[in-house]
Structure 1
Amino acid sequence: MQTATTPRKPRLAAIEYIRGISMMGVIGIHIGSQYIMNPAANIHLVALFETFTRFSVPIFFFISAFGLFYNLDLHAPFDFGKFTQRRLKTVLIPYLAWSLLYLFHDGLLYGVGFPDPMHLLSILFFGNAKYQLYFMVILLWFYLLMPLWIKLVRHLTIPRLCMMLALQIAFDYWSSFSTSFNLYVYSLPDDDILKPFLMYRLNYWVLHYFFIFLLGGYLASHTAQFMDFMKKHLHGLTACFFFTLGGLMTYYYEKIFLSGYTALEAINTAHQLCPWGILYTVAASFFFFAIFTYQKYPAVLSPLLHLLGKHSYFAYLSHPLFITYIGLWLQNTGHLITAPVAISFYAATLIFSIAAAVICRKIGEHIPILNKITIGVYPSK
């Protein structure tokens, strides 16, 4: 069958750099979860860890879609079998490998053992082996629905994108904040088969992120116009980024100072699925793409951004291991996670995660199966 690809377009460094920035943001969110357990946690540092970084997960869907559609001919036959085979190798195999690693590791570390077969299937379906793995489950669902996304992107226009953005905001608001719906979910008996499917809906309902994925696909399919738009509106996109960031931060502080929320309650409200969070994600997608494409920044940063982007996949998958052991070391040595400790905690986790990625990638060049199962990279033919 004819493949649905066009001649290869130039490589875009912005995609790689955004991966690195997003990975750093995800680590920040998870360090923030450790820091916020300190009753005296600084609410401004919590905001930096947990609110400023809220674009991190959804922007991964944006760049994933952009990468998928960048060299795709929307009007040529689409070989779904070949596409699925390749994507399952790059995502499903690493997902299963890391899930089993975490289940064995945590079973030994916490003395809970390995789950029984039925529980194991549930864990793997919902991505619950570790708190960062749900992203891969949603990504797999996006891949399996690729023919649908192609049909939608073919017919997308700017007005239709705006309509989809409104639908996205409405759906995410209902899923996150509908009192009646959430009361219904939590009122279900624990043995009700429907309960986990609704409790863990964020782990596999692609509808929570369909707009940002389609936006990435649409812009990739109109690359020339997108590049021209960014070049002409660089300052406007920068202003939009900081405006939406300000809106999300204001929402966070309003919940604390006016509504009496705790910092934990505030970050669980001012997140990526609230209206300001969605707008912030969209603005961040344009902003980071624009500055990594047209904005002049110190040349010395390029190798660092390349390093972070190249190894972001492994670092994303492995960083909970380093959070676990650094956290245990802090606990055993009597260190309270204060603001300076939290910042050091973040830096150490990032450094160890990237170092481990570099080492494993090098070893994987000699033992290819290591790269195959950890990051889905196969030797060049």
Structure 2
Amino acid sequence: MQASAAEARHEEPQKKRKPRLAAIEYIRGISMMGVIGIHVGSQYLSNPAANPHLIALFEIFTRFSVPIFFFISAFGLFYNLDIHAPFAARQFYLRRIKTVLIPYLVWSLFYIIHDGMLYGTGLPSPLYFGGLLFFGCAKYQLYFLVILLWFYLLMPLWIPLVRRMSLRGLAALLVFQVLFDYWSSFSVPFNTYVYGLPDDSLLKPFLMYRLNYWVLHYIFIFLLGGYLAVHIEAFKCFMQQKRTAITLLFYVSMASLLGYYYSLLAAGQTPLDGINTAHQLSPAGIFYTLMASLFFFTIFTYQRYPAALNPILHLLGKHSYFAYLVHPLFITYLARTLEHRGIIMTGGIALAFYAAVLLLSLLAAILCRRLGNALPILNETTIGIYPKTKR
């Protein structure tokens, strides 16, 4: 997503800008494709005879997609940041307001109005409207921007942590991450308490939507991104020397998460139960996210793939922010078209559905970016891109 792109070219004054890392942009594009896959998979699950293997492709293989955004966001933030210099808070927060908060508010308002008109529900009450904005519930993909804003808000905490972080500290943080996420996701007493709260309880939404703003769910992958950015030269040596091991462990981690999913199916759970259990916050999911972050950064840094793919990866990365924000719109109308025509979403149709959503989202992003060159307010409010000022 482009929010991470802004971080990759950190705006605070620096002595000398470091070389651009194409890996950050390419990972954004790959991850955006994965997020769309997850949401298309949710549509495919409406078919009671859905193929569990195709569900695994849509919903399990792509599970690194959301947390890896936190990895590259932190990497972009810390890559050109002097962590020993005073933190330029005013510049930092003004930039985040422009690149993330304003687009978040604009897209939230758009979806609230659009869905209210489409489904005939009208506009929410002021109190409910405030809740939608606070928790990122105006549309199902917007919660990511809320938790990202919380990470930004806590930047004065992350800088000294990254400055003092060691490999041993990262290992301890990984253990904490596994334990905390397991408790949040699978603790029966805790979740029983949450779901048992009265619907009118003020505490219930704060616990029900904890994934939308509790940064502790992704603190390891975020600080890992920051740590590796600060130690970029050592990270490059590590990737070069351990490329084979990184690749092998990536496939092992993928097999572990897929194996967990299939074991749940073998135990009698439905595919829906399976994907709601074998997710990115499960121990296998955290391992998969870690290895996916290292794997994609490695292959995109040392380019062990055909160079002809780079223009495609660049296009996907460049327009990932807008595509991420707009794709639910195309999912909605394509799904309504299928429903109106009485077409069941079979496996083949689901794959075509995915391709259509991805293509339409990219085309919309390209069109709006070009329109935004003539009408800058369009780019400013939708993706936080502002005209370059002459120095």
User: Does TM-score exceed 0.5, indicating one fold?
Assistant: yes
Q: Are 1:282 and 2:290 counterparts?
A: yes
The runs of at least 4 consecutive aligned structure 1 residues that moved more than 4 Å come to none
The aligned amino acid for 1:345 is: F
Q: Are 1:213 and 2:222 counterparts?
A: yes
What is the CA-CA distance between 1:6 and the residue it aligns to? 4.5
Distance in 2, Cα, partners of 1:348 & 1:6: 45
Instruction: Tell me the residue number matched to 2:73.
Output: 64
Q: Are 1:322 and 2:322 counterparts?
A: no
Q: Are 1:261 and 2:269 counterparts?
A: yes
The aligned amino acid for 1:243 is: V
What is the CA-CA distance between 1:296 and the residue it aligns to? 2.4
Residues 259-289 of structure 1: CA deviation (Å, up to 9, x unaligned): 2100000000000000000010000000000
Instruction: Tell me the residue number matched to 1:295.
Output: 303
Matched residue SS, 1:129? coil
Q: Are 1:103 and 2:117 counterparts?
A: no
Distance in 2, Cα, partners of 1:73 & 1:7: 11
Give the unaligned 5+ runs of structure 1.
none
The aligned amino acid for 1:332 is: H
The aligned amino acid for 1:20 is: G
Distance in 2, Cα, partners of 1:75 & 1:155: 11
Instruction: Tell me the residue number matched to 1:195.
Output: 204
For normalisation by structure 1, the TM-score amounts to: 0.98
Q: Are 1:222 and 2:196 counterparts?
A: no
- Report the number of matched residues: 378
Distance in 2, Cα, partners of 1:40 & 1:295: 40
For normalisation by structure 2, the TM-score amounts to: 0.96
Matched residue SS, 1:209? helix
Distance in 2, Cα, partners of 1:231 & 1:376: 35
Instruction: Tell me the residue number matched to 1:348.
Output: 356
What is the CA-CA distance between 1:351 and the residue it aligns to? 0.2
Assess if the C-alpha contact under 8 Å between 1:29 and 1:49 holds in 2.
yes
Aligned to 2:341, which of 310, 333, 336?
333
Q: Are 1:135 and 2:159 counterparts?
A: no
Instruction: Tell me the residue number matched to 1:272.
Output: 280
Matched residue SS, 2:61? coil
Distance in 2, Cα, partners of 1:296 & 1:278: 25
Aligned to 2:127, which of 118, 127, 134?
118
Q: Are 1:244 and 2:253 counterparts?
A: yes
Instruction: Tell me the residue number matched to 2:58.
Output: 49
What is the CA-CA distance between 1:249 and the residue it aligns to? 0.4
Distance in 2, Cα, partners of 1:114 & 1:128: 14
What is the CA-CA distance between 1:88 and the residue it aligns to? 1.1
Instruction: Tell me the residue number matched to 2:188.
Output: 179
Identity %: 65
Distance in 2, Cα, partners of 1:6 & 1:271: 42
The aligned amino acid for 1:61 is: F
The aligned amino acid for 2:127 is: M
The aligned amino acid for 1:340 is: G
Q: Are 1:379 and 2:348 counterparts?
A: no
Distance in 2, Cα, partners of 1:286 & 1:14: 11
Matched residue SS, 1:334? coil
Residues 230-261 of structure 1: CA deviation (Å, up to 9, x unaligned): 0111111000100000000000000001x210
